[in-house]
Amino acid sequence: MKASDLIGHSFFKGLIYGPSGMGKTVLVAQFPGPIEYWDFDGKLSSAVYYLPTIGKKEQLATIDVHQFGKLPVKERIPAWEKRTQLIDECIRHGKPMPFKTLVLDTITTLSDMLMDDYIFRSQLGIKRPMEGINSMQDYQLYEKHMTRVLVGLLAQDINVVVLAHMETEKDESTGQIERKPLVKGRALGPKLPMWFEEVYAIVAKSDGSRVLLTQPVNGHIARCQRGLAKEVPAKIEEILK
């Protein structure tokens, strides 16, 4: 590939994070369909009820929902892995993806479920210091597992939108507050924003309106390569224009 081949690239590869109730799910449910929606939080109902009120009821028919978070604890990650294998098949055989947008809602919950799942499946026969507590091997496996999945998805010619809850942390040495995507694992957390072209924080203004922070401000981690202003309304039209 030549660098000139990248001209015109318009796929959105983004990580959007923020506190619960900020409208993350409603926002990403409006991306171009067909949408492959991996639901781990079980909150897609917010979009189901809201989109018809703004004249976008037809958008719901473009969303193929996989509610992994509602499955029994020992079934949810195997079901998700089975779905990712179907995507791997498209990649392996050079077939186009059967959707324009993939949404992962949220990577925060997925990371928790993966770690729980390792206790049940992945490290069988290994003696653990404490029963039901993740081992160091679990964290190492988790980092490799998540890296393989995310890097592979981000390389595809589709929109990839990953949602995350927000973590607020104070640096004890400097006193600075850092607001960042919340994900399991000290090793994976700092790497996560590096993989995405776009990293936005969604926050509420004093008047109740929601905005996207596209550049670092007030301790928020953010990055934008799409030429957006530092702060834009949290609307799909602003992201895709």
Q: Is the peptide bond before 174 cis (omega within 30 degrees of 0)?
A: no
Per-residue pLDDT tens over the stretch 27-80: 999 999 999 999 999 989 999 999 999 999 999 999 999 999 999 988 999 999
The CA distance from 74 to 65, in Å, is 20
pLDDT value of position 120: 74
Residue 59 structural domain: 3-184
Tell me the β-bridge partners of 220.
179, 217
The mean pLDDT of the chain is 88
**How many domains does one find in the chain?**
1
Domain membership flag for residue 202: no
pLDDT value of position 8: 55
Sign of the CA dihedral with 160 first, then 20, 188, and 81 last:
negative
Domain membership flag for residue 232: no
Structure tokens at 197: 């072209």
The count of other CB atoms within 10 Å of the CB of residue 53 is 8
Domain membership flag for residue 234: no
For position 8, which CATH number holds?
3.40.50
Domain membership flag for residue 194: no
Domain membership flag for residue 116: yes
Domain membership flag for residue 230: no
Question: What is the chain's Cα-based Rg?
Answer: 18
Instruction: Provide the whole-model pTM.
Output: 0.90
The count of other CB atoms within 10 Å of the CB of residue 140 is 12
